Amino acid sequence: MKRIYLILAFTVFVFCFPLFLHAGKEKAGQPLIRSVQADFVQEKQLPILAKPLFSRGRFIFQAPQSLRWEYFTPLHTVLLMRQGQVRKFIEEDGSFREEQGMGVDAMQIVLQEISGWLDGNISDTETFSVTEVGEERIILTPRDGAFAKFIRRIELQLADQAGFMKTVTLYEGEGAYTKMSFTDSVLNGKIPETTFVSP
């Protein structure tokens, strides 16, 4: 079961990538990113699906490493990451149940990667090779190893405002992708610490 959580950890890693990428860095003409929050619609397509699946949720990130990744539909789940600890909750019959076995070891891998990004340039990552297409599109291609087995590429569509994404699309294989479209983004809004503590 640990392996499922490792995959979950990698999923978090992939979708959080754009957020962590700029956090804590101040670039010329761009604001320091202390927090980002946005609503999202997630579209899932698979070859076997006659109709795509849609999920809705909200993303809240606070530098350096706090995250609340919440889905409202089709299942109400909350993934919390704070001070290196990751917990996942699922709402059942009106109350939240914590998923046991959320591998801290799995998330350590993610946190190590994130620390690497925060310290260096995106192009230096050992995990992805980066291609910038125009000013608004970035394509990340796994270099090798575990990632390449189940992710072909990730496309980031940047929004006009620094620090924001329009979409993140993860291509898993022929006809299989997950696309997250972000709306109502808020940059550097004040976020209560309790947001990352409990569902």
Partner 1 sequence: MRIAVRILCLLLLSSCSLVQVQQPFMTNTAGGDVARVLRDRCESLFAPGTFQQVHSIRFSKADGRGATVLGVTVRDGDTLKCGLMGVEGFVLFEAELGESLKIERALPPFDNSAFAAGLMEDVQTLFLLPDGDVVNCGTSSEGEQLCRYEQSYGRSTDIIVSEGDTFHINVYDDKKRRVKNVVFRSFTDTAIGRTAGEIELTVPGSRGYTLTMNLISAEKI
List the one residue from 12, 16, 86, 106 that touches partner 1 (CB under 8 A): 12
**Sign (positive or negative) of CA dihedral 145, 2, 68, 61:** negative
**What track of x and - describes contact with partner 1 for positions 56 through 75 (by CB under 8 A)?**
-------------x-x--xx
**What track of x and - describes contact with partner 1 for positions 108 through 127 (by CB under 8 A)?**
--------------------
Closer to partner 1 by CB, 31 or 101: give it. 101
How far apart are CB 3 and partner 1 at their closest, in Å? 4
Whole-angstrom distance, CA of residue 29 vs CA of residue 66? 25
- DSSP tally for the chain: helices H, then strands E: 3, 11
Closer to partner 1 by CB, 75 or 133: give it. 75
Whole-angstrom distance, CA of residue 98 vs CA of residue 141? 34
148 binding partner 1? (CB under 8 A): no
DSSP for 92-157 reads: ETTEEEEPTT--HHHHHHHHHHHHHHHHS-GGG-SSEEEEEETTTEEEEEE-SHHHHHH--EEEEE
Which residues of this chain interact with partner 1, rule CB under 8 A? 1, 3-5, 7-8, 10-12, 15, 42, 44, 46-51, 53, 55, 69, 71, 74-75, 77, 79, 90, 99-101, 149-150, 172-173, 176, 178
